[in-house]
Amino acid sequence: MAGNNHDDALLRQALLDVAGAGACVVPWAPQRDVLRHRAVGCFLTHSGWNSTAEGVAEGVPMVCWPFFADQQINSRLVGAVWGNRVDMKDACERGVVERSVKEAMESGEIRRSARRLAEQVKRDTGDGGSSALEFERLVGFIRELSKGLQREQWRSGGASVCRGEARERGRGGGGVSRGLSRHARRGLAAHE
């Protein structure tokens, strides 16, 4: 367990160094609020999808330090496709971290790419944007599917509740439609 004691000592020293620089360490912070703050120069991230999406949405250059699962592919996507990150790959050395953060903060190309991508995300997710329209289409599809399933259940004799009592189609002198108003019966017939 000597490694743990060494790690604990490094952490204690890092916290003292940070506190001495006028910064603070907290157990939790609202990541999106932090990322949108003008003082943020770059985002050192493990590249999990939520963190990646939040960094992209806020237009912050990223330093990706993936560990496992989707993080590897997210990191490659951020760099190779979107061009707004520095990838540390598997490096865990102070010098590599320092160079990567410096590059992300000083690269005008990475910063411009991050801003362009954030602007595109805002357009796509805003009113009339492609993502917003596709989401509306999905909701419409689900609603239509739900209506179709309800009609099919009605046709196949599924149970329903009419006027406070359960009735089944074909029983009780008229089934489901007996408990419906004349207008509701017309509406059901129009959908068949």
Q: pLDDT (tens digit, 9 = 90+) per residue, 84-102?
A: 767 676 667 888 888 888 9
Looking at residue 191, its pLDDT comes to: 46
Average pLDDT over residues 12-37: 81
Superfamily of domain 11-125 in the CATH hierarchy: Glycogen Phosphorylase B; (3.40.50.2000)
Q: Where are the beta strands (DSSP E) in the chain?
A: 43-45, 62-64, 85-87, 160-162, 165-167
Looking at residue 4, its pLDDT comes to: 67
Average pLDDT over residues 150-164: 64
pLDDT tens for residues 105-156?
Answer: 999 999 999 999 999 999 999 999 999 999 999 999 999 998 888 877 777 7
Q: Which residues contact 26 (CB under 8 A, 6 or more apart)?
A: none
Q: Bigger pLDDT: 7 or 74?
A: 74
Would you state the torsion angle of the CA atoms of residues 181, 186, 189, 190, taken in this order, to the nearest 10 degrees?
Answer: -140
Distances (CA, A) of 134 to 46, 49, 74, 117, 145: 29, 20, 23, 19, 16
Q: Which residues contact 83 (CB under 8 A, 6 or more apart)?
A: 109, 110, 113
- Contact by Cβ (8 Å): 124, 134: no
Where do the domains of the chain lie? Answer: 11-125, 130-191
Q: Give the CA angle between residues 35, 130, 86 to the nearest 5°.
A: 35
Print burial letters for 48-69: b (CB count within 10 Å at least 16), e (below 16). beebbebbbbbbbbbbbbbeee
DSSP string, 89-133: TT---HHHHHHHHHHHHH-HHHHHHHHHHHHHHHHHHSTT-HHHH
pLDDT bucket at 2, cuts 50 / 70 / 90 = very low
pLDDT tens for residues 32-60?
Answer: 999 999 989 999 999 999 999 999 999 99
